[in-house]
Amino acid sequence: MGAAIHAQNLIQGGCLMGKSMAQKILEKHLVVGNYEVGKEIGIKIDQTLTQDATGTMAYLQFEAMGIDRVKTDLSVSYVDHNTIQVGFENADDHRYLQSVAAKCGIIYSRAGNGICHQLHLERFGKPGTTLLGSDSHTPTGGGVGQIAIGAGGLDVALAMGGAPFFLTCPKVLKINLTGKLNPWCSAKDVVLKMLELFTVKGNVGVVMEYGGPGVKTLSVPERATITNMGAEMGVTTSIFPSDEVTKKFLKAQEREKDWTALEPDADAEYFKVVELDLSGIVPLAATPHSPGNIATVKSLAGKEVNQVCVGSCTNSSFRDMMIIASLLKGKHVHPGVSAVMASGSKQVLTMLSENGALTDIISAGVRIAENACGFCIGNSQSPQSAGISVRTSNRNFEGRSGTKDAQAYLVSPETAAAAMLTGKITDPRDLGVAYPNIKVPAKFSVDDSMLLPPAKDPTSVKIYRGPNIGEPPKNDKLPDSISATVTIKVGDNVTTDHIIPAGARMKYRSNVPKYSEFLFEVVDPKFYERAKEIKGKGKANVIVGGLSYGQGSSREHAAMCPMFMGVKAVIAKSFERIHSANLINFGILPLTFANEADYEKVAQGDELEIPNVREILAKKGKMAVRNKTKNLEFEVKYEFSDRQVDIILAGGMLSMLKK
């Protein structure tokens, strides 16, 4: 195991300590604070990305700041989530996004062009730079050596306006890769192994840095699969070196000029070093209902499959789709399986069409979906009741597929193709066929016609606003004391999908009053009415949660909608990074139990009081919560910087900016 990392390159034994890749990039971009692990820092953001599910509100917030043009090197607005046009809402939001992009200096990627993370990797990802995205899978960019971080839309809006992005200076953990993957094992199996080792909780404030001789055996898309699902472990981001493999990828994308070498110093120090032998990886699966529930495919073999979906930002590269096409060529999908494919980008779909692989896939009986997030976020291709769906996507939370009682398994393209053919979960090594030899072309099909540049004359652009688009909701300043009712108590590993649903409900993303009606719909459909009644009585709402509260999507609506419904605090055993930051941005206190056993002392419906909360926060003093219903008191903890205290006292970032 590696030595603990030290702050600011302290000299030990007369030798200057070497730097990790993460440290090199973060130090280069520091604008607030010093590189000191555990302390808050502010970094300059070079690039931003948004997608339509989170971007609409992000741009409404950007407009509310009164800034005319983005101040980043590059900002891109992608439409890839809500591309199903049922009702006017999504189409109206897309029109708004296109018009605000044209006016404010943002590149607009049209619906059908592809999924933001794969597209950004293909067309814009640049080694050594910083990327902030309003989507939790933004760390995909680490596949080309970017520090790419997911955040709430408000943080992205601030970055577009030229403000620093604030984060806790992370611990850097090195994953030393050795060996080489065996046939029928892929990068998806690598990251599933990582999830088995690190789980979905307890990794807040960590950057995973991949190195070692095994790195050179992985292509950029394979590296991106691994960094993509680092989000499921809760890490700040993951990063690979920028080497000759990276240079080859960028050259194939006609972007060789964007390449720069990036590697750690030979004597770089890490918080921890973990050895991972790629040759020991076997086909794995994440079983319902968490990406952290890992089992070998061999142990699941024989389980009947109703649906197979291949694609998503995790596994929809040219190589991934060619694996599917090669294994299906001349064969047919099992009659008991509904098979769906969604390429990650128009580029990939075009290349599959040109080389005949798309014909092989269609002839086998696979349904071709849009180049979009689709099935991954549950807005299309929901499986049958209680169905088993095998997917190459990154999340299998309960109900995320759009069918609450469905069982979703996350697997590699190889394992997905095996299930298509056999109708059962099957270890692909048992198919009895030769492993496909996929040759990636030296040049990809480059066509940026669906990337619309901003208007040359911004004054000529009128921003379109449909009737579903509202103003960002406002919040009052934090009261002197909080008197509240526990509106809901939930357990461990509650995700943002549990808090505010994805899928078809996301068409209300720019209409917060309407979207709020679906808060905790998956967990307790009566939450909204209870919260509405309590708020109507002039009291606050409080949410009580377990471990790793707020996993999953960066969707800031999981904080914004509770704020709209009068939630003043969330008390949990622990929080995930992005959701905690979003709660602060919207003036909600994220508090943790000083003693986890106190979680059992609170029940739904209890009346709580947090006295003198403003005074305590200002002085950074100890905070206690009185349970008036049970006539007891317990201590809660918080870790806020001075900046975060100011945000909370003001009632949120927008309220502070207005002030």
Task: Calculate the CA 295 to chain-centre distance.
Answer: 23
Q: Which DSSP letter does residue 273 get?
A: E
Q: Which residues contact 635 (CB under 8 A, 6 or more apart)?
A: 594, 595, 598, 622, 623, 624, 625
Residue 16's pLDDT is what? 65
- Compute the distance between CA of residue 349 and CA of residue 204 in angstroms, rounded to an integer: 36
Task: Identify whether residues 305 and 273 lie together within a single domain.
Answer: no
Identify the pLDDT of residue 390.
98
pLDDT of residue 646: 95
Question: 249 and 275 share a domain?
Answer: yes
Token digits of residue 480: 């002197």
Confidence of residue 71 (pLDDT cuts 50, 70, 90): very high
CATH assignment at residue 126:
3.30.499.10
The percent of residues in the chain predicted with pLDDT above 90, rounded, is: 86
53 with 506: CB under 8 angstroms?
yes
Question: Do 215 and 272 sit in the same domain of this protein?
Answer: yes
84 inside domain: yes
Planar angle of CA 324, 325, 331, nearest 5 degrees:
100
For residues 573 and 545, the answer to whether their CB atoms sit within 8 Å is yes
pLDDT higher than 90, residue 134: yes
CA triple 329-330-335, angle to 5 deg:
95
pLDDT of 6 above 50? no
Tens of pLDDT, residue by residue over 9-62, are 333 333 468 999 999 999 999 999 999 999 999 999 999 999 998 999 999 999
What per-residue confidence (pLDDT) applies to 3?
31
Residue 529 has pLDDT above 50, yes or no: yes
- Structure confidence at residue 12 (pLDDT): 34
Do 271 and 300 have their domain in common?
A: no
Does a structural domain hold residue 5? no
Q: Phi/psi zone of residue 44: left (φ > 0), alpha (ψ -120 to 50 degrees), beta?
A: beta
Last residue of a domain, which of 410, 428, 446?
428
Examine the domain organization and report whether 162 and 235 are in the same domain: yes
Q: Looking at the structure, tell me whether residues 76 and 164 fall in a common domain.
A: yes
470 compared with 139, residue with greater pLDDT: 139
Q: Note whether residue 264 is domain-resident.
A: yes
Split at pLDDT 50, 70, 90, the class of 384 is very high
Which pLDDT score, from 0 to 100, does residue 379 have?
83
Question: Does 437 reside within a domain?
Answer: no
Model confidence at 286: pLDDT above 90: yes
pLDDT for 473 equals 85
How many structural domains does the chain have?
A: 3
440 lies in a domain? Answer: no
- Whether the pLDDT of residue 4 is over 70: the answer is no
| Residue range 459-483, pLDDT digits in tens | 999 999 999 888 888 899 999 999 9
Residue 601 included in any domain: yes
Residue 434 makes CB contacts below 8 A (sequence gap 6+) with none
pTM: 0.91
- The pLDDT tens digits of the residues spanning 542-566 come to 999 999 999 988 889 999 999 999 9
**Mean predicted lDDT score pLDDT of the chain:** 94
Q: How many CB atoms lie within 10 A of CB 20?
A: 23
The pLDDT of residue 14: 36
Task: Note whether 247 and 313 are same-domain residues.
Answer: no
The pLDDT, as a whole number, for residue 10 is 35
**Same domain, residue pair 231 and 307:** no
CATH number of the domain residue 619 falls in: 3.20.19.10
**Residue 280 in this model has a pLDDT that exceeds 90:** yes
Is there a contact between 125 and 551 (Cβ–Cβ < 8 Å)? no
Is 523 within a domain? yes
pLDDT exceeds cutoff 90 at 510: no
The two three-digit tokens of residue 635, written as one number: 């201590």
pLDDT tens digits, 180-230: 999 999 999 999 999 999 999 889 899 999 999 999 999 999 999 999 999
pLDDT at 421 over 70: yes
Q: Which domain-ending residue is among 265, 280, 295?
A: 280
Bridge partner list, 489: 544
Classify residue 457: in a domain, yes or no: no
Domain that holds residue 404: 284-428
Pairwise CA distance, residues 511 & 572, whole Å: 28
pLDDT in tens, 79-126: 999 888 788 999 999 999 999 999 999 999 999 999 999 999 999 999
Mean pLDDT of 318-322: 96
